[in-house]
Amino acid sequence: MSNPTPDERPTVAACQTPVSDLDPEANVATLQDRVAALPDRVEVALFPEQFLTGFVPDDRTAEAAVRTDGAELDAVRDCAADNDVALLVGYVERADETLYNTVAYVRPDGETTVYRKRHLWGGELKVLTPGEERVTVETPLGRTGLVTCYDLNFVADSAAYTEERVDALFVVGAWPAAHSENWRLLVRARALDGVRWAVACGRTGRRDVPEAPTATYGGRSMVARPNGSVHTALADDERDLVVTLDPEEQAYHRKRVGIYRD
């Protein structure tokens, strides 16, 4: 097999951004602007956990929640189609009377796959319901598992994705700045677990909503190599991490680390 040409190597973007809590309209506008500004070679762009809606641990989250078949996600689908890019976007989802911490993988043709976060953290437990199923999607990186923030801590989930032989993980997060090194360590570990790429997009900025706990987010979006090392990483600034990945690098490490053989 010949080596892939530069044009055949997938390019991904982690759009590290603050979030306007409880303001889906503002967040949709941010998404449209950020996606339009990406280089044409980008095939997949990730946005942070709960990006479209933000989150506070009270009833206001229910008021801001959006439906997967609603206008906000229709705008995401239009953006994916207009820019010929797949989008991974987090939001608080309303499904009948139940609220989930959801991420949607939206292809340029509009096909939408959702993953509902299985492991809820802190104030999420007051207003959200955990999801039940792990989810994989076909992406330009191959078969890819979807992971949200605190899910990173659960090794059993990572092992299940390893059993499924996924080629990559897409991770969205809103990780506290005070614990940024834990985020970096866990993203790297989950890459090494399955000798796969891990592309992680973190929220940056600050939540400062009246009568809600304040929070400062770490950003630290990154791409971890299949050997667990850091390919590229950001600090906490608002910017896009754009990376072109080489499938041959993963093939090389899978020959050296024989978890599927052993």
Residues 163-173 pLDDT 10s: 999 999 999 99
- Mean pLDDT of the region 199-204: 98
- Return the pLDDT at 7: 64
Instruction: Count helices and strands (H / E) in the chain.
Output: 7, 14
- Mean pLDDT of the region 223-240: 97
Cα separation, 163 vs 252, in Å, equals: 19
pTM for this predicted structure: 0.96
Cα separation, 48 vs 220, in Å, equals: 11
- Mean pLDDT of the region 18-28: 98
- Return the pLDDT at 252: 94
pLDDT at 2 over 50: no
Q: Which residue has the tokens 């600034």?
A: 237
User: What percent of the chain clears pLDDT 70, i.e. is strictly above it?
Assistant: 97
3: left (phi > 0), else alpha (psi -120 to 50), else beta?
A: beta
**Where along the chain do its domains lie?**
10-255
Cα separation, 7 vs 208, in Å, equals: 43
Closest C-alpha among 192, 186, 11, 174 to residue 85: 11
pLDDT at 259 over 90: no
Q: What homologous superfamily does CATH list for 10-255?
A: Carbon-nitrogen hydrolase (3.60.110.10)
Going by pLDDT thresholds of 50, 70 and 90, the confidence category of residue 130 is very high
pLDDT at 261 over 80: no
* Helix/strand/coil for 156: helix
Contacts of 89 (CB under 8 A, 6+ apart): 31, 47, 51, 52, 76, 103, 104, 106
Cα separation, 170 vs 187, in Å, equals: 10
Report angle CA 16, 209, 240 to the nearest 5 degrees. 5
